[in-house]
């Protein structure tokens, strides 16, 4: 399928890097295509960035038929632009689509769509330290029908946003609240899928955390409410003694691409990484005995982010003196080194954009 390009006649001025923040500024163009059962995906095009016209009865508004992805385009020291493991995002999107009965994407075509948009928007990929162009592919059902039924008509878009740090703390340790009332996901639910509803359902706990001065929420499992799952926009890892522990992918956790990359990097460097259940009780004991050495979150938007405090009710666990630990720093340096092209990519994770 060809991608028809219509250039934006009124490009926007670029926002200075120190004013970017996360997800507030958008580039001049977006990719869009439509789907229906009879015609499959069609009308692939890149058009000037702008509002959509969507029927008020569309499935997305009433029944939450929506999935999305998040990945970044990075500018290397030589000025080239590269993506990090983009096929992983496309495959995860297809897994999310399967869960939500939305149509599958052709992997190769989705990659071409990403590459074509980034290539057109290359001047929007910032070059200042820790900045990148965040890409947000998403898909939603838009049947003009109020019956509760799987989707027949669907729209897929990619929008792009130049970004700086996700957290205002940057690489400084964040404080995170362990949520004990609301749950994000349960096994058999949609936790492993990147669907909008998972995030909408997390707002109440997020608001509570914010009011108490915490950056994000750490979710516990929805059944026993004792095992640690993940943070709102990151997977989590703990260094307990010499073991790196990260919650196993039991179906209620998003299989993060940064998580997968961290595990591969750590194992390659000889660390013992266990994907297993990790309870708040074990966290408490590890903290009391001094075995808990480091904790960090990892995700595309947040990169690798040290966790300085975990708070549950009145109890505060302080980790590594609220300082970034050696393994967290090593992971951050290696991962960001590969992503921004400062380090050699011996894993084949980099996809250069022409
Ligand atoms: N967990 C959740 C709930 C997320 O939203 C994200 C971000 O995408 C992650 C984990 C990390 O996933 P990734 O490393 O693929 O960005
Ligand atoms: C990401 O890391 O890409 C995310 O999607 C996290 C969040 C902004 C939803």
pLDDT of 308-345, one tens digit each?
A: 999 999 999 999 999 999 999 999 999 999 999 999 99
pLDDT at 222 over 80: yes
pLDDT of 37: 95
Average pLDDT of the chain? 96
What are the backbone angles phi and psi of residue 213, rounded to the nearest 5°?
90, 15
Q: Tell me the C-alpha distance between 326 and 319, whole Å.
A: 13
pLDDT of 76: 98
Q: Can you give the pTM of this predicted structure?
A: 0.96
**Using a 6 Å cutoff on CB, does residue 257 contact ligand 1?**
yes
pLDDT of 167: 74
Helices (H), 226-301: 257-268, 280-289
Q: Give the distance (Å) from ligand 2 centre to CA of residue 300.
A: 6
Pocket probe mutation, ligand 1, options 92, 203, 234, 250, max atoms within 8 Å of Cβ: 234
Pocket probe mutation, ligand 2, options 300, 302, 339, max atoms within 8 Å of Cβ: 300
Residue 170 banded pLDDT, cuts 50, 70, 90: confident
Q: Give the distance (Å) from ligand 1 centre to CA of residue 299.
A: 5
Q: Give the distance (Å) from ligand 2 centre to CA of residue 248.
A: 20
Q: Tell me the C-alpha distance between 17 and 131, whole Å.
A: 7
Each residue's pLDDT tens digit, 259-275: 999 999 999 999 999 99
For residue 16, count CB atoms less than 10 angstroms from its CB and return exposed for 0-12, middle for 13-18, buried for 19 or more.
exposed
Measured over the CA atoms of residue 135, residue 215, residue 233 and residue 271, the dihedral's sign is positive
169: left (phi over 0), alpha (psi -120 to 50) or beta: alpha
What is the secondary structure of 308-335 as a DSSP string? EEEEETTEEEE-GGGS--HHHHHHHHHH
Q: Give the distance (Å) from ligand 1 centre to CA of residue 202.
A: 14
Taking CA atoms only, the protein residue closest to ligand 2 atom 6 is: 233
Q: Tell me the C-alpha distance between 88 and 80, whole Å.
A: 21
Each residue's pLDDT tens digit, 133-146: 999 999 999 999 99
pLDDT of 168: 73
Residue 165 banded pLDDT, cuts 50, 70, 90: confident
Residue identified by tokens 């689509």 is: 97
In the chain, the domains with their CATH numbers are 4-163 (3.30.470.10), 174-339 (3.20.10.10)
pLDDT of 215: 87
**Using a 6 Å cutoff on CB, does residue 286 contact ligand 1?**
no
Each residue's pLDDT tens digit, 77-122: 999 999 999 999 999 999 999 999 999 999 999 999 999 999 999 9
Each residue's pLDDT tens digit, 290-308: 999 999 999 998 899 999 9
Q: Give the distance (Å) from ligand 1 centre to CA of residue 94.
A: 15
Instruction: Give yes or no for a contact between 283 and 310, defined as CB atoms under 8 angstroms apart.
Output: yes
Residue 121 is encoded by which pair of tokens?
Answer: 């928007």
Residue 131 is encoded by which pair of tokens?
Answer: 């900045």
For residue 216, count CB atoms less than 10 angstroms from its CB and return exposed for 0-12, middle for 13-18, buried for 19 or more.
buried
302: nearest Cα among 206, 231, 227, 207? 231
């Amino acid at each position: 399928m060809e991608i028809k390009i219509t250039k934006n006649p009124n490009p926007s001025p670029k926002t200075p890097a120190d004013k970017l923040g996360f997800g507030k500024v958008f580039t001049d163009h977006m990719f869009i295509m439509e789907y229906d059962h009879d015609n499959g995906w069609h009308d692939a095009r890149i058009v000037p960035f702008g509002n959509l016209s969507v029927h008020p009865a569309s499935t997305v508004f009433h029944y939450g038929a929506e999935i999305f992805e998040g990945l970044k385009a990075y500018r290397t020291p030589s000025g080239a632009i590269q993506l990090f493991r983009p096929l992983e995002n496309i495959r995860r999107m297809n897994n999310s689509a399967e869960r939500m009965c939305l149509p599958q994407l052709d992997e190769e075509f989705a990659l071409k769509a990403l590459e074509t948009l980034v290539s057109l928007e290359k001047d929007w990929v910032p070059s200042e330290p820790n900045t990148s162009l965040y890409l947000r592919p998403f898909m939603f059902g838009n049947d003009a029908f109020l019956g509760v039924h799987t989707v027949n008509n669907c729209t897929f878009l990619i929008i792009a946003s130049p970004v700086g740090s996700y957290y205002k703390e940057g690489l400084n340790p964040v404080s995170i609240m362990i949520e004990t009332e609301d749950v994000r996901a349960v096994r058999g639910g949609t936790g492993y899928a990147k669907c909008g509803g998972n995030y909408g359902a997390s707002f109440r706990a997020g608001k509570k955390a914010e009011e108490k001065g915490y950056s994000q929420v750490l979710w516990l499992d929805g059944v026993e409410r004792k095992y640690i799952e993940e943070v709102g926009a990151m997977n989590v890892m703990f260094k307990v003694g010499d073991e790196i522990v990260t919650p196993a992918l039991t179906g209620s956790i998003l299989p993060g691409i940064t998580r997968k990359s961290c595990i591969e990097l750590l194992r390659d460097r000889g660390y013992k990484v266990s994907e297993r259940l990790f309870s708040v009780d074990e966290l408490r004991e590890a903290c009391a005995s001094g075995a808990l050495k480091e904790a960090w979150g990892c995700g595309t938007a947040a990169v690798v982010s040290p966790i300085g405090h975990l708070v549950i009710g009145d109890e505060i666990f302080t980790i590594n003196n609220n300082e970034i630990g050696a393994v967290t720093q090593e992971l951050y340096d290696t991962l960001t080194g590969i992503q921004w092209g400062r380090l050699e990519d011996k894993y084949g994770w980099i996809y250069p954009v022409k």
